Amino acid sequence: MSTAVPLPSVQDVFTEDEVARTAYARLVPLENQAELFIRVLGQVLIQAPSLEERALVAQQIHNCATNQELIDLGKFCLEQFVEYIKGLRALSSPPKLARSEILLNIPTVAPRNHLEAKKQALVRDNYRCVVSGFVDFDAIEALPRLEKDIATTPAMIRYTECCHIFPEQEDRNDFEEPGHHNTSSRFTLAHVFGGAHEPSLAETGIHNLRNILTLETGTCPAFREFMIWLEPTGEIANQYRLVKRYAHYGKDLPEVVTFFSTSPDLPVPDPRFLAFHAACARVLQLSGAGKFINRLLYQPKDSSISTYSKVRLRLA
């Protein structure tokens, strides 16, 4: 099922941002030449979650002297999405947590690896999925009090996973390609949508609890593959509306979720990181890049965007 849509007309976007509007106006006429690349670039500009990120994307578009450079920039953005999803998939097999390793007390040291992040996130999230509310299977036997919760609430029992928002990122300082002579080494997907180079995450690594959600094993892949994402309600802090790529997916999931922590020393997921994830999800949905990337990553290992897109520049 395709979710791709054509780029909106110039008259319908950026009515109060002339710089972004003129940048976007350069893209629309190219949509028929390289549909996927241009739709990705156009949606990256539209979906950027802050004026700062939007200005950066608009400037990169203005820096392109030719139409081919614009197409190349769109291709570069698509490559960033591919690397991002590959990085998340590489984290998709979390370490097994023995029941004896379930933490009973509030940890005092920040997590340094995947296993520690999983343990601490479970403590923070009261041993349950932050979206569905399902209680972690392994925690039930380690913590008898959870059995009382199950007995007195509608909560169900499921295995849970430690789900990252950002994967590890490679240094892009050596990036140099025709059409990107003025492209900053910071112009990576994560920088555009705000957050991956935020100093404290760079110092503490991807296992920082602000980058982690506890999700049950059915919901974690959906979040990782951008089938669901979280948009702030704007009503109270850390409250989000659950958005789905397909309306029929996850009918049993709540429409609104609110994040809490069992301790002020265990931070909840960072709203900026969730805004990044949501922006990526919207781009992947509206441009059709999500379907393209899934097909690409199931191709032989030597496949690349350049070779695969020769027959896929236009979307089915």
Which of residues 148 and 253 earns the better pLDDT score?
A: 253
User: Domain for residue 302, yes or no?
Assistant: yes
When the pLDDT of each residue in the chain is averaged and rounded to a whole number, the result is 85
Q: What is the pLDDT of residues 51-92, one digit of tens each?
A: 988 998 999 999 999 999 999 999 999 998 998 999 999 987
Give the chain's end-to-end CA distance (angstroms, integer).
10
User: Domain for residue 201, yes or no?
Assistant: no
User: Domain for residue 185, yes or no?
Assistant: no
In this structure, the answer to whether residues 130 and 46 fall within a common structural domain is no
Q: At residue 33, does pLDDT exceed 60?
A: yes
Residue 303 binned pLDDT confidence (cut-offs 50, 70, 90): low
In this structure, the answer to whether residues 85 and 104 fall within a common structural domain is no
Q: What is the pLDDT of residues 89-145, one digit of tens each?
A: 998 776 677 777 787 677 878 898 998 999 999 999 999 999 999 999 989 888 888
In this structure, the answer to whether residues 222 and 159 fall within a common structural domain is yes
Which of residues 169 and 62 earns the better pLDDT score?
A: 62
Question: Which residue is it, tokens 């591919």?
Answer: 82
- H or E segment and range at residue 307: helix 305-308
Q: At residue 186, does pLDDT exceed 90?
A: no
Which of residues 189 and 126 earns the better pLDDT score?
A: 126
In this structure, the answer to whether residues 72 and 135 fall within a common structural domain is no
In this structure, the answer to whether residues 57 and 155 fall within a common structural domain is no
Specify the pairing of strand 239-244 against strand 256-258. Answer: antiparallel
φ, ψ dihedrals at 12, nearest 5°: -100, 0
Q: At residue 267, does pLDDT exceed 50?
A: yes
The per-residue b/e assignment along 240-274, b for 16 or more CB within 10 angstroms, e otherwise, is bbbebbeeeebeebeeebebebeeeebbbbbbbbb
Which of residues 14 and 247 earns the better pLDDT score?
A: 14
What is the reported pLDDT for 188? 62
Q: Which residues pair with 244 in a beta bridge?
A: 228
What is the reported pLDDT for 52? 87
**What mean pLDDT is predicted for residues 27-45?**
97
In this structure, the answer to whether residues 122 and 158 fall within a common structural domain is yes
Instruction: Give yes or no for a contact between 183 and 63, defined as CB atoms under 8 angstroms apart.
Output: yes
Q: At residue 229, does pLDDT exceed 60?
A: yes
What is the reported pLDDT for 142? 83
User: Domain for residue 194, yes or no?
Assistant: no
In this structure, the answer to whether residues 282 and 260 fall within a common structural domain is no
Tally the domains of the chain: 2
Name the residue range of residue 242's domain: 99-166+206-269
User: Domain for residue 184, yes or no?
Assistant: no
Question: Residue 29 has what DSSP assignment?
Answer: G
High-pLDDT (> 90) share of the chain, %: 59
In this structure, the answer to whether residues 232 and 120 fall within a common structural domain is yes
Q: At residue 173, does pLDDT exceed 50?
A: no
- Helices 35-47 and 67-90: crossing angle in degrees, nearest 10, is 70
**How would you class 237 by CB atoms within 10 Å of its CB: exposed for 0-12, middle for 13-18, buried for 19 or more?**
exposed
**What mean pLDDT is predicted for residues 289-299?**
89
In this structure, the answer to whether residues 242 and 113 fall within a common structural domain is yes
φ, ψ dihedrals at 203, nearest 5°: -80, -40
In this structure, the answer to whether residues 107 and 153 fall within a common structural domain is yes
Residue ranges of the alpha helices (H) in 65-211?
67-90, 114-124, 137-142, 144-152, 189-192, 199-204
User: Domain for residue 172, yes or no?
Assistant: no
User: Domain for residue 212, yes or no?
Assistant: yes
Q: At residue 316, does pLDDT exceed 90?
A: no
In this structure, the answer to whether residues 19 and 136 fall within a common structural domain is no
Pick from 47, 104, 95, 93: nearest CA to 289 = 47
High-pLDDT (> 70) share of the chain, %: 82
User: Domain for residue 211, yes or no?
Assistant: yes
In this structure, the answer to whether residues 264 and 281 fall within a common structural domain is no
